Structure formats: C-alpha cells, structure tokens
Structure 1
Amino acid sequence: MKPIDAVIVGGGVIGSAIAYYMSARGIKVVLLDRDRVGSQASNAAAGMLAAQAEITEAGPMFDLALASRTLFPQLSTDLKELTGIDIGLKRRGLLRVAMSDVDVTDIQCTLDFQKKAGEQAEWLSMEQVRHKEPSISSEIRGAMLIEEDSQVDAPELCSAFAQAAAVLGAQIKEFTEVKSLLLAEGRVTGVITSEGTIRADQVIIASGTWSGSLLTQAGLTCPIYPVKGECFSVLSHAPLVQSTIFSHGCYLVPKKGGRLVVGATTTSHSYDRKVTLGGIGNLLDASKQLLPCIVDAEWERAWSGLRPQTLDGLPYLGEHPYWKGLYVAAGHYRNGILLSPMTGKIVADWAEGKIDKNISLDSYRVDRHENVHFEKEGVPS
C-alpha cells in the first residue's frame, strides 16, 4: 500500500465526505468499509436537507445544519465535474404541514423562532398550500413553507463523495474490517484490519452505529444506538407533488422519473432490518391522509436502514482527549446527509491543524457523556 496520512473507518456518507474533503486538500487517505461503500444508512436515506423543518430550536445543531446546507449548491457542481454523478439537488422548498390544531401551534412557534433567527419561512393557509400542491389533502390546516430546505439523492451523494475522493487520490478498500486500533505513547499510529496492518498518523472513526467497539478500545464511552427506519416508494407517470412534504406522521420526497419516497418509521435499539407490514402499514395510512391520490400510484419497493443516534441527539465530533490523531465523527442520526459536507470540511480542517471559529464544536465533544477511561499501557502497538 502507498504511504498514507489518514485512515477513515466507515464508508457511509460521513466517511466518504471526509475522504473527499481531505483528498481535495492533498491529504493521502484510505477509506475502509467492512461492506460496500454507502451500503447501510446512507443508501436508505430519503435525502432531505431539512435544516429548518426538523431542527426547531436555536443551538449548535441548528447552526451546523444551516452552515452545511449552504455548501450543497457548489458541492453539487464540483462533484459532477469530478465524477459525472448528478447528486439530484432539488431546490423546490419544503412544506411542513399541519394536520391538527396542535400541529398549527407547534409550527407557529417554529415559524416565530425561524424569523427571529433571520431565516426565511412563511405560513401558508390550506388554500395557498393546495394552490402550490393541488394533490394535497383538503383536510390540512396549513403549512410552513421553507424555500431554502431542499433535497438530494442520498445514494448518489455518497457514491459521488467516494468516487471524487478516489479521483483525487484516495484509496478505497471495501470488505475490509478494522479489528483494532494501534495506540502508543499518547497517539494513534494506525489500525489492524482483516487484510493486515495500516500505519497512519491520523485515524477517523466514522462508522455510525458500528463505531462502538473501536471507541471502547480507545477508552471512550460514546453511546451510539441504532434506530431502524422503514420507507417505501411508489411510481407515477406525472409527479404527485413538486415540493418535499413533511408532517408528523410521514414525509414525502419527490424524486426524478415520477418516483416518490415515503418515510420513515422509528424503532430504537434494533439491529433487525426486516421491513414489517405494521411499519409500512402505518406509513401507508399517514401518506394517504396527507396525499389521497397516492392510492393510484404504482408500488415500487420497501426498505429499511439503521440510523446512528446518540443520547442527546448530537453527533460526536472531535479528537480523543488522550490519543492524539484519533478523531470521531459519528452519531449523526437522521441528519447524516445534511451534515456530511460540513463534517467533511471540519475533519479536513483538523487534519491541517485549522479551526473554523464560526462553528462551535464544544457541544459535540467525544467525552461529554462520561469521563474517559483509558489504559496507557497494554494497548496494541
């Protein structure tokens, strides 16, 4: 293997984004995945960039999400130039729909917050929503229109990140499992994999739900647990909606070719990826209530994915407090697609010893949930 500067563990959208941004700066990286790149949660995601629709209060996540969302237009162009892959960026806005009086109250509170934060959002009456989206149910109470929230095709985004990284010099090794970290004299020196030892001065753990064993070896308690989400898609000759529709019971994300993605269920602490009739049934009921004409669409398929959640809903982003050069970027839950470019940029900054003073990462500390307990002796070297 050619000499490398950094090992990235995990080939989902976060790991692939990190590989792209580091490679773009001339950093020699190898991206490792125990399966195929982008085959897990990133492949199951609907691709919403719902920075304002899903994050409804001020805080570090809101700031990070907005910063990341702004990167997508240029990113879309750059990735297509490097790889020929169109990530499917659609900037047609998002409607967060109210189906009840409680929803109206919640959305109005969110709307007030958005305006105070200086972000664009407006309330639309039922009539205004149906003028924009004629197929929406007449039973809705109204909706918040967020013009800046958009969407991409998640599998294409992950593929584009990985292929662009490879074009820029990254090595990508699939079906390569990282067995343990190499730690000595206060720093990481590489990894031991199913295919052999790889030496590097920096290691980034970005393997989502499967990050636990390596984090434990490094003496970190970073609770990351899986949340299964089930989705389905339908086909129609003409698009059923133009905007992304977000409601309490489900979301509807229109894709190219008359495809509509409907998601997603939430089952915590489950590695069982079976698609259940109960889960899909609940989504069918919610989607029919929101978009009655969906009953006439052609069934395409159903699937599930495991989203990596943390105790406080914030990802772990940062360097290990003892083992220098060992970084964590994991636990992005349902915002992995949205946060991928900013996460990649932040990690690339770390590799170069830079700090973005406009983004505070204190709330994302890797040791925030429990004191770090590590052994300085007796570790692989």
Structure 2
Amino acid sequence: MKPLDAIIVGGGVIGSSIAYYMSARGMKVILLERDRVGSQASSAAAGMLAAQAEIHEAGPMFDLARASRGLFPQLATDLSELTGIDIGLKRKGLLRVAVTDADVAEIQRTLAFQKTAGEQAEWLSTEQVRQREPSISSEIRGAMFVGEDSQVDAPELCSAFAHAAAVLGAQIKEFTEVKSLLLDQGRISGVMTSEGTLYSDRVIIASGTWSGPLLAQARLTCPIYPVKGECFSVLSHTPLIQSTIFSHGCYLVPKKGGRIVIGATAQAHCYDRKVSLGGISKLLEASKHLLPGIIEAEWEKAWSGLRPQTLDGLPYLGEHPHWKGLYAATGHYRNGILLSPMTGKLVADWAEGKTEKDLSLDSYRVDRHENVHLKKEGVPS
C-alpha cells in the first residue's frame, strides 16, 4: 500500500483546501479533524473576498490576497464539476461606505494606493451609490466601489474542498484528535491520534486557533489567539442590495434567496462561542444606519466563530526551520476564505519541491517571532 504523502491536521477551509490541491496532484493524503469538517470558523464566515477593500497598503498580504482572489473563478468551475457543489461565487463587487469625514479621507487614501498598485477602484458620490443600490441610506458620504472584490458561500466552499479531495482519493477522518507529533532525528515521522498512530514524513498543521499546542511540541511557539466574531442573518422577499456593503460598523453580504449576512463583532482572546445580545444589538444598529429597509426583513438566525489571529496579522506559512517535513498553514484570521486557494496551492507546491516565484513569503515565516528554542533537549541545531 502506498504510504501517505501527507497528514493534514485541521478540517477547516485551509486544511480542506490543502487536501484538495495535494490530491489533485496525485498525492495520497489524510485529513484529520477533531470535530466535523468545517464546523468552526469556516462555517461562521460571511465569505467576503475583499482583497482590496480591507487592505490599505502595499505588502505581503495585499499580494497574497490578490493572487488568491484570482484563483476563484476557475476554482468554482473545477469544484462544481468534481462535486456538484456550487460555492456561490458572486461577482457583484463591494462598496466600502464612508459615513463620516474621517471615513472619506481614509477611503480616498486607499483609492490613491489602489491606483498606484494598478488595481481598479472608483469613488462614488452618495447619489451614484444610491443609483447602484437604491436602498442604501441617503446619509452616507459616498463609497469606494471595487468591482473585483466578490464573495462565496463559506460553508459550501469548505464542503466542496473536502468532497473534491475525497473524490480525488483523500481520506477524511472526522472526530479524530491529534494528540502528539512523532519527531525524531531532525524530522517528523507522523502523529499520534485518538484513533491510533499514523505515519508520514510530511505533516501540515492547519488547525487554526488550536494549532499552537501542537507546534509547541516542536519547540515552535507561534502566538495564535481566538477572536470571537458574532453574526446574524435576515431574509427579505424584496432584494435589498446586490453588492457587498462594508463599513467600520458592520458589513452586509447578500446571499441567494434574499438572505443577507450581517457581521461581525470582534472579541479577542475569547473561547466562549455564545452569542451575546450586546454584540447583536451593535450590529443591528449599524446595519439599520446603512440599510434602513432591513428593519422590514425577517430574522433568520445568529451565530459566532473563533477566528485565529497572530501578533502581526499575517498567517504562518512554511516549513519548520529545524524539523524537516513539519509545516504550518495557520493563523489566517479574517482572511481564511479569501486565502484558502493560494494556501492550498502553496503547500502542494512545497510538497513537489517547487518555490513561489511571484510572491515573497518571507513575512509569513513560521519562526519570524524568534520563538524557536534551539537549546532545549531533543531539538536539532
């Protein structure tokens, strides 16, 4: 029997993407998830692909986000053909709305940066915004319209990645917790799980908020902490918006069937997934100011998720500097959905010995916070 080319720890959108891209290249992989696939942050996300609207300056995140956004059109077709799952790619653009003078000034700076970077974005007056989206409040000051920023249905994307990986030969094991890493003589050889031991000379840690303890076993402390985000959704028979609406107070993401997702609060270092009345109240008020007609919509539901944040806001991507074959692909915070295709592609490239020519990945190094302790017993130097 062919040995495993990789063990992927974590069945969210990042781990599922990695399983898909590696399987698509003929590699034999197993995906391990302690709960259900896509049951954590991936199922809670609104699915925005805001490569331009949420990033205000040049840098590694801007480059990675744009590259990943560009993979979605073909990806949607490929996943649909393999699985029959429609990931809900909706390319109606995004409006980053200005409510105050300070918002206007900030957005104008972002517009100038976007043009310098060669991206398409335009300023719309209040009247122009309302021509495009008549239900938007007349009290806004204008908006930046980004035609290339789009959205998907996040739970469907994660499900499609996992199903496609399985179609291509990947093993998917849910309710299987990884207890420890098997490390010996400068390389990894597998993992010990709640269901037994698995062997492979390549292990990828992609378990989001829960990645830290496993990486710590390899003397690598990648500071990752949860940021609780609360959201709610409503239903409207009358279409209220076509484009995604984004502001400092909240975002509104229109889905199929007249559904709108509204989010999201941000509470750092919180593992409590209960939805608070206070959090939802703030989102309700903010959404009413942007879209007054939303008060006539029918309440659907509320939920929360734990987004994995890092000290500098950048994910950890790459191989452990001292334990060969151990990789991290974690800490994507709010950008897990957006960055999932490129992350999966990068890990598959590394497995084939390829290097990325068009992106600089130095800023994502797993040891960039100098938390690898070389002098401890058992760590190769």
- TM-score normalized by structure 1? 0.98
Give the aligned partner of residue 137 of structure 1: 137
1:333 equivalent to 2:294? Answer no
CA contact (8 A) 1:189 1:202 kept: yes
Give the aligned partner of residue 177 of structure 1: 177
- Aligned to 1:179, the other structure's residue is in SS state strand
Q: Per-residue deviation at 1:131? A: 0.3
CA contact (8 A) 2:68 2:340 kept: yes
Query: Which runs of structure 2 are paired with 1:100-179 in the superposition (5 Å)?
Result: 100-179=100-179
CA contact (8 A) 2:222 2:371 kept: no
In structure 1, how many angstroms separate the alpha carbons of the residues matched to 2:213 and 2:310?
Answer: 15
Give the aligned partner of residue 211 of structure 2: 211
CA contact (8 A) 2:228 2:306 kept: yes
In structure 2, how many angstroms separate the alpha carbons of the residues matched to 1:280 and 1:376?
Answer: 47
Give the aligned partner of residue 46 of structure 1: 46
- Aligned to 1:285, the other structure's residue is in SS state helix
**Percentage identity across paired residues of the two chains:** 82
Deviation digits for residues 285-309 of structure 1 (CA, Å, limit 9, x no counterpart): 0000000000000000000000000
Q: Per-residue deviation at 1:239? A: 1.8
- The one-letter code sitting in structure 2 at the alignment partner of 1:294 is I
- The one-letter code sitting in structure 2 at the alignment partner of 1:199 is Y
Q: Per-residue deviation at 1:238? A: 2.2
Give the aligned partner of residue 65 of structure 2: 65
How many equivalent residue pairs? 379
- The one-letter code sitting in structure 2 at the alignment partner of 1:299 is W
CA contact (8 A) 1:185 1:376 kept: no
Deviation digits for residues 21-73 of structure 1 (CA, Å, limit 9, x no counterpart): 00000110000000000000000000000000001100000000000000000
CA contact (8 A) 1:219 1:375 kept: no
Runs of 4+ off more than 3 Å: 374-379
In structure 2, how many angstroms separate the alpha carbons of the residues matched to 1:188 and 1:376?
Answer: 17
Give the aligned partner of residue 310 of structure 1: 310
Query: Which runs of structure 2 are paired with 1:1-381 in the superposition (5 Å)?
Result: 3-374=3-374
Deviation digits for residues 250-292 of structure 1 (CA, Å, limit 9, x no counterpart): 0000000000000000000000101000000000000000000
In structure 2, how many angstroms separate the alpha carbons of the residues matched to 1:131 and 1:106?
Answer: 23
CA contact (8 A) 2:234 2:261 kept: yes
- The one-letter code sitting in structure 2 at the alignment partner of 1:364 is Y
In structure 1, how many angstroms separate the alpha carbons of the residues matched to 2:4 and 2:335?
Answer: 30
In structure 1, how many angstroms separate the alpha carbons of the residues matched to 2:154 and 2:375?
Answer: 39
- The one-letter code sitting in structure 2 at the alignment partner of 1:208 is G
Q: Structure 1: where are the runs of 5+ without partners?
A: none
Q: Which moved more, 1:111-120 or 1:363-372?
A: 363-372
Q: Per-residue deviation at 1:99? A: 0.3
Q: Per-residue deviation at 1:3? A: 2.8
CA contact (8 A) 1:90 1:150 kept: yes
In structure 2, how many angstroms separate the alpha carbons of the residues matched to 1:299 and 1:195?
Answer: 41
- The one-letter code sitting in structure 2 at the alignment partner of 1:110 is T
In structure 1, how many angstroms separate the alpha carbons of the residues matched to 2:33 and 2:292?
Answer: 41
Judged with a 3 Å threshold, the aligned counterparts in structure 2 of structure 1 residues 371 and 228 are, in CA distance, closer, same or farther, namely closer
CA contact (8 A) 1:186 1:376 kept: no
Judged with a 3 Å threshold, the aligned counterparts in structure 2 of structure 1 residues 82 and 376 are, in CA distance, closer, same or farther, namely farther
Deviation digits for residues 167-201 of structure 1 (CA, Å, limit 9, x no counterpart): 00000000000000001111000000000000001
Q: Per-residue deviation at 1:125? A: 0.2
Q: Per-residue deviation at 1:375? A: 6.7
CA contact (8 A) 1:220 1:374 kept: no
Q: Per-residue deviation at 1:4? A: 1.1
CA contact (8 A) 1:17 1:344 kept: yes
- The one-letter code sitting in structure 1 at the alignment partner of 2:103 is D
CA RMSD, 1 decimal: 1.1
- TM-score normalized by structure 2? 0.98
Q: Per-residue deviation at 1:376? A: 7.4
In structure 2, how many angstroms separate the alpha carbons of the residues matched to 1:133 and 1:285?
Answer: 19
Deviation digits for residues 193-227 of structure 1 (CA, Å, limit 9, x no counterpart): 00000000100000000001111101111000000
In structure 2, how many angstroms separate the alpha carbons of the residues matched to 1:20 and 1:374?
Answer: 34
Deviation digits for residues 312-358 of structure 1 (CA, Å, limit 9, x no counterpart): 00000010000000000000000000000000000000101100110
Judged with a 3 Å threshold, the aligned counterparts in structure 2 of structure 1 residues 36 and 374 are, in CA distance, closer, same or farther, namely farther
- The one-letter code sitting in structure 1 at the alignment partner of 2:123 is W
Q: Per-residue deviation at 1:377? A: 5.3
Q: Structure 2: where are the runs of 5+ without partners?
A: none
- The one-letter code sitting in structure 2 at the alignment partner of 1:265 is T
